[in-house]
């Protein structure tokens, strides 16, 4: 693109603003929302804060030293923001540790080669000696169940159904494939298998194994389960075609330690007119252990903190109480979300809405809402003042995990929806690092959440 685009670009920008906002009255809401976005883009702090969280603190799996440091640092960060209240909520969390780096090898007639794997979160280990066995490749649980048990017993089941690339919303492909990771080990063990290897939940072809939580079931033998990179999965599948008698060997030694004490971190600005009505914004502070947890979910936490900072920076005094919650343990237990809801009920708190950002720090596209229809309609009508900022997709849909336990007819559970295309390249993998986050995209997300909080604060939710 060259310089003559100057005029074109200006035309584009003005026109797009114009026609997307054609129904918009140039009222106070539009002015305030414009101020929110300008402050975020010019002076936003979530990017700098995320840099610190990712590079000075790093991985934050529940029970880890990183998680504890993140709790202390975010509490201090909010304590320095002039909020009305900053506090911790105690929560007991699972404490799983990966142990020594995993190893895996494919030994076929033709070759012997290492492939990248990682233990799934919650998995048991193989012991110090590798688990070595023949491999049965399947695409679905139905296919596995239809096999002769004798052909599965003692083997490693290789779940190799790729995420379906045809979905426009990448999360839908995730939803359709993730049962292999979450309960594959149960299905494999029921057939007598000795282990489970799962194709990484990744829409790209690369060498990163993607971890994520998996479960065992009472009464079903626990077997070791690991993720293999998408390139590794394709290699294994090709070699199995050539040599069905090949052996797969892997070693992993994670451990589940006793539950540990951890915390949700909470900060709030008290409402001036209706302090009893709470509007929550949140993310989860824990991350998987393999990376910095930049998109999942340092981004969401820093955006949730930024909502309060933007209100302060703009001297906006909310009518209702605006509360930022950084939940602990979303990834492997949801204990923070459950504890928060338990305390909210105990304290008879009245939440009118809860917005969670847990789909990455990408360019904003909208909000998806779980609520009675009339509440969804009220929020969707605000599209006229939000669409100029790229927020077109506003309507019924899923919330996010941590806020789920707050569900009732009184509350709107709202998932912030950034663009989904890049999320599953980095999700739960070592590549989920700060350098994969674009400053403008991240700051626009915090501004989008703030704009919605502002509207909820101004008008409440009937």
d(CA 442, CA 371): 26
Please report whether residue 168 would count as binding a copy of itself according to CB under 8 A.
yes
One symbol per residue from 350 to 389: x for binding a copy of itself (CB under 8 A), - otherwise; what is it? --------xx---x-xx-x-x---------x------xxx
Using CB under 8 A, pick the residue from 187, 289, 400, 432 that binds a copy of itself: 400
Task: Identify the active-site residue in 306, 330, 400, 441.
Answer: 330
- Is 330 an annotated catalytic residue? yes
In the complex, minimum distance from the CB of residue 310 to a copy of itself, in angstroms, rounded to a whole number: 14
Q: Per CB under 8 A, which region of 53-61, 266-274, 346-354, 393-401 contacts a copy of itself? A: 393-401
d(CA 450, CA 307): 5
Please report whether residue 159 would count as binding a copy of itself according to CB under 8 A.
no
Q: Residues touching a copy of itself: how many (CB under 8 A)?
A: 83
Q: Which two tokens stand for residue 216?
A: 């065992």
Please report whether residue 7 would count as binding a copy of itself according to CB under 8 A.
yes
Q: Which residues contact 244 (CB under 8 A, 6 or more apart)?
A: none
In the complex, minimum distance from the CB of residue 420 to a copy of itself, in angstroms, rounded to a whole number: 9
Q: Which two tokens stand for residue 162?
A: 């790729």
- What part of residues 200-259 is at the interface with a copy of itself (CB under 8 A)? 203-204, 212-213
- What part of residues 429-448 is at the interface with a copy of itself (CB under 8 A)? 438-441, 444
Please report whether residue 48 would count as binding a copy of itself according to CB under 8 A.
no
Write down the residue that tokens 């975010």 correspond to: 74
Q: Which is nearer to a copy of itself, 37 or 248 (CB)?
A: 37
List the beta bridge partners of residue 269: 322
- What part of residues 281-310 is at the interface with a copy of itself (CB under 8 A)? 296-297
Cis peptide before 297 (omega within 30 of 0): yes
Q: Which is nearer to a copy of itself, 144 or 201 (CB)?
A: 201
Please report whether residue 150 would count as binding a copy of itself according to CB under 8 A.
no
Please report whether residue 41 would count as binding a copy of itself according to CB under 8 A.
yes
Q: Which is nearer to a copy of itself, 48 or 244 (CB)?
A: 48
Please report whether residue 82 would count as binding a copy of itself according to CB under 8 A.
no
Q: Which is nearer to a copy of itself, 133 or 401 (CB)?
A: 401
Please report whether residue 181 would count as binding a copy of itself according to CB under 8 A.
yes
Q: Per CB under 8 A, which region of 137-145, 149-157, 165-173, 191-199 contacts a copy of itself? A: 165-173
In the complex, minimum distance from the CB of residue 108 to a copy of itself, in angstroms, rounded to a whole number: 28
- What part of residues 327-356 is at the interface with a copy of itself (CB under 8 A)? 330-332, 334
d(CA 32, CA 454): 8
Using CB under 8 A, pick the residue from 192, 253, 419, 433 that binds a copy of itself: 419
In the complex, minimum distance from the CB of residue 17 to a copy of itself, in angstroms, rounded to a whole number: 7
Residues annotated as catalytic are 330
């Amino acid at each position: 693109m060259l310089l003559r685009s100057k005029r074109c670009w200006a035309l584009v920008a003005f026109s797009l603003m114009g026609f997307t906002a054609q129904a918009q009255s140039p009222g106070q809401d539009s002015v305030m929302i414009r101020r929110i976005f300008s402050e975020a883009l010019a002076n936003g702090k979530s990017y700098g804060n995320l840099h610190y969280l990712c590079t000075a603190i790093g991985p934050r799996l529940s029970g880890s030293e990183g998680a504890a440091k993140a709790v202390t640092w975010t509490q201090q960060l909010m304590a320095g923001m002039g909020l009305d209240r900053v506090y911790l909520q105690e929560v007991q969390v699972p404490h799983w540790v990966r142990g020594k780096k995993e190893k895996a090898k494919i030994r076929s007639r033709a070759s012997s080669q290492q492939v990248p794997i990682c233990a799934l979160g919650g998995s048991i280990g193989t012991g110090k000696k590798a688990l070595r066995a023949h491999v049965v490749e399947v695409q679905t649980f139905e296919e596995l169940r239809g096999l002769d048990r004798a052909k599965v017993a003692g083997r490693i089941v290789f779940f190799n159904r790729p995420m379906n690339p045809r979905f426009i919303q990448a999360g839908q492909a995730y939803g359709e494939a993730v049962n292999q990771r979450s309960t594959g080990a149960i299905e494999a063990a029921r057939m007598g298998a000795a282990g489970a290897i799962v194709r990484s939940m990744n829409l790209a072809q690369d060498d990163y194994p993607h971890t994520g939580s998996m479960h065992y079931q009472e009464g079903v033998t626990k077997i070791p389960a690991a993720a293999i990179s998408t390139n590794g999965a394709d290699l294994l599948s090709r070699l199995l075609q050539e040599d069905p008698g090949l052996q797969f060997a892997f070693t992993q030694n994670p451990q589940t330690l006793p539950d540990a004490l951890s915390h949700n971190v909470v900060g709030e600005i008290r409402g001036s007119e209706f302090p009893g009505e709470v509007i929550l914004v949140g993310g989860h502070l824990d991350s998987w252990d393999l990376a910095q947890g930049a998109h999942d979910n340092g981004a969401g936490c820093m955006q949730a903190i930024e909502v309060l900072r933007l209100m302060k920076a703009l001297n906006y005094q909310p009518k209702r109480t605006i509360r930022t919650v950084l939940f602990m343990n979303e990834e492997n237990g949801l204990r923070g979300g459950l504890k928060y809801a338990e305390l909210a009920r105990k304290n008879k708190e009245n939440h009118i809405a809860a917005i969670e950002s847990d789909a990455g720090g990408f360019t904003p596209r909208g909000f998806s809402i779980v609520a009675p229809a009339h509440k969804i309609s009220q929020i969707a009508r605000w599209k006229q003042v939000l669409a100029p900022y790229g927020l077109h997709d506003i309507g019924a849909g899923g919330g996010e995990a941590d806020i789920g336990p707050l569900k009732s007819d009184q509350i709107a559970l709202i998932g912030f929806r950034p663009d989904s295309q890049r999320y599953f390249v980095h999700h739960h993998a070592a590549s989920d690092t700060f350098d994969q986050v674009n400053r403008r995209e991240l700051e626009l997300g915090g501004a989008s959440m703030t704009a919605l909080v502002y509207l909820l604060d101004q008008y409440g939710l009937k």
